[in-house]
Amino acid sequence: MVFKKILIANRGEIAVRVIRACREMGIPTVAVYSERDRASLHVRMADEAVLIGPPSASESYLSIDKIVAAAKKTEAEAIHPGYGFLSENADFAEACEQGGIVFIGPPASAMQLMGSKISARAAMKSAGVPIVPGTIQPILDDHEACAIAREIGFPVMVKAAAGGGGKGLRLVINEAEMESAVRTARSEALNAFHNDAIYIEKFLDQPRHIEIQILADAHGHVVYLGERECSIQRRHQKVMEETPSTFINDSIRLRMGEAAVSVGRACGYVNAGTVEFLVDSRKDFYFLEMNTRLQVEHPITEWVTGIDLVKEQISIAAGEALHFSQEDIHPRGAAIECRIYAEDPYNHFYPSPGRLTVLGRPAGPGVRIDSGAYEGWDVPLEYDPLLAKLSTWGTTREEAIGRLRRALLEYEVLGIQTGIPFYQKILRHPDFLSGNYDTGFIDKVLREESIETDASPAFPPGPLDEGRLVALMAASVHAMRNGSSPKFEPTTGEATGSRWKWAGRKKIHEGKDSR
């Protein structure tokens, strides 16, 4: 047993994911939870649970003091931070260390270096990793910015050093736009990150976002576990990820993998990390940033490599050497994941909190669900509305896509809206099917589907959903009239495609067939 007890400093699906890894390793777990999460799945699944504060994340899941105190109180030897919240907070990693608790993640120094995109770019340049042309020092003002932009050529991007998530990001076409771009990027950065340092990069037109998973142990071994194609994003949020990428061949894959390993070595990385690259139309790749945490989309890498990343994180943190080397890693088949959020695709993807009155989950070959949701659970408004990650594996990309489409059809979610109908559209789009898409794909789909609105294109209302509502009302009336168990009429053997007839046939089958 590598640790006697692990505390999970997170909530939702990722807390559940970490608890599952601990269970498999025979390690008891401690959940922490806010008042809003009393009835959450991670609290139910952990061996112990500690209430750490009110619903507001800043007073619960973001409180270093409360979480370290909970670990001490329960005598947890290590803390897994999941993603988001405190997972990339170097102060938290240091506070754990000072409290004699192992932080299951990289050294604080690596988190610090990668936390500033400017210092990360400078370090990667020294390490010989290609970076997007631009500055490796903060820019002083718009005059200097213009001088640099003239040198590297317009258009350029002004970016926040502490950035991420599209905040403090500005595209600048010409000199006339620079003054206001620098000003707004700076104030946005100050607002979002309390740090107004900004830098400049040459703008890459319609790049692909491809990232490489690495694992590094404390004994100097660093390996890469293939790539994840994450170009399908909406407002700088990934919505769908797949591996392998259809865009790169084995020789680029190898070079990117080796570059990612160099990145890991250059920053003294230990544990699981992800190196993000932008890949341009000429298939040249450039270091973008490094995520010093387990990522949301890690399941697709687990699908194709057969490696459990969370268990590896835990054994690496316990000081164990990786028990495989680069030659042992042979990704097999293809995997795709979609993030199912409690959001309304028919209404600008606004959050859709509320009670999950009905939850039917897909299953069957090649299907995996990572979720903190259960039937009857109330989806809170306070946190990231990720309900579930649905991922599928197939021997080919086509098989993985087919399984994802099938699994989405099996999903039954009532009470709240989800992005499921939107994913069904994407999974039938010719550009997705051909693999010919870039970071502009979602906007393209929305434009094609949409009734234009002033703010943003909207996915049109679905007639299917209204039909389903009517069907549900009819079913309720029917059920009430016939007592609690509705009786279905026998149907003829014809395949009419009527869901009512199919429902009836299924019941008869289950009742009378004794196979």
Of 238, 163, 229, 228, the C-alpha closest to 201 is: 163
Residue 104, SS3 per DSSP: coil
188: contact with ligand MV4 by CB under 6 A: no
Interface segment toward ligand MV4; rule CB under 6 A; list 40-48, 81-89, 201-209, 342-350 = 201-209
Amino acid in the structure at residue 382: E
* Residue (of 322, 313, 292, 274) closest to 93 by Cα position: 292
How far apart CA 344 and CA 351 sit, in angstroms, is 6
Q: How far is the CB of 201 from ligand MV4 (least distance, A)?
A: 4
Q: In whole angstroms, how close is the CB of 287 to ligand MV4 at the nearest point?
A: 11
Least separation, in Å, of the C-beta of 481 and ligand MV4?
52
Annotate each residue in 111-150 with x if it binds ligand MV4 (CB under 6 A) or - if it does not, as one string: ---------------------x------------------
Binding positions for ligand MV4, 202-221, rule CB under 6 A: 202-204, 207, 209
Can you name the residues that pair with 339 across neighbouring β-strands? 389
* Total of residues contacting ligand MV4 (CB under 6 A): 15
Task: Identify residues 283-302 at the interface with ligand MV4 (CB under 6 A).
Answer: none
Q: Is the CB of residue 105 less than 8 Å from the CB of residue 81?
A: yes
Least gap, CB of 403 to ligand MV4 (angstroms) = 25
Residues 6 or more apart whose CB falls under 8 angstroms from that of 208 comprise 229, 231, 245, 247, 278, 279, 280, 438, 439
- Nearer to ligand MV4 (CB atom), residue 258 or residue 280: 280
In whole angstroms, give the CA distance from residue 205 to residue 280. Answer: 7
The CA–CA distances, whole Å, from 431 to 278, 308, 409, 416, 442 equal 20, 32, 21, 30, 11
CB of 19 to ligand MV4, least distance (A): 30
From CA 279, how far away is CA 287, in angstroms rounded?
9
First to last CA, the chain: 45
Residue 197: both structure tokens together:
């340092």
Nearest by Cα to 132 from 116, 147, 117: 117
Q: Closer to ligand MV4 at the Cβ: 101 or 185?
A: 185
Mask: binding to ligand MV4, 147-176, rule CB under 6 A, as x and -? Answer: ----------x--------x--x-------
Cβ proximity to ligand MV4, 37 vs 438, nearer residue: 438
Q: Is 293 a catalytic residue?
A: yes
In the beta sheet, which residues pair with residue 134? Answer: 201
By CB under 6 A, which span of 9-17, 228-236, 376-384, 411-419 interacts with ligand MV4?
Answer: 228-236
- Regarding 236 and contact with ligand MV4 (CB under 6 A), the answer is yes
**Structural contact between residues 355 and 378, judged by C-beta atoms closer than 8 angstroms:** yes
* Closer CB to ligand MV4, 40 or 231, in the complex: 231
Choosing from 201, 211, 229, 312, the residue that interacts with ligand MV4 (CB under 6 A) is 201
Catalytic position from the list 293, 339, 397, 403: 293
Q: Give the interface segment with ligand MV4, choosing from 51-59, 199-207, 254-262, 417-425 (CB under 6 A).
A: 199-207
Cis bond before residue 244 (omega within 30° of 0) = yes
Pick between residue 132 and residue 216 the one whose CB is nearest to ligand MV4: 132
User: Among 120, 104, 83, which residue's Cα sits nearest to residue 218?
Assistant: 104
CA 357 to chain centre: 25
Nearer to ligand MV4, 9 or 132 (CB): 132
Tokens at 194, concatenated: 């309390």
Instruction: Rule CB under 6 A: say whether 441 interacts with ligand MV4.
Output: no
* Strand-pair category, 343-344 with 29-34: unpaired
Nearer to ligand MV4, 101 or 240 (CB): 240
| Residues belonging to the active site | 293
Per CB under 6 A, residues contacting ligand MV4 are: 132, 157, 166, 169, 201-204, 207, 209, 231, 233, 236, 278, 439
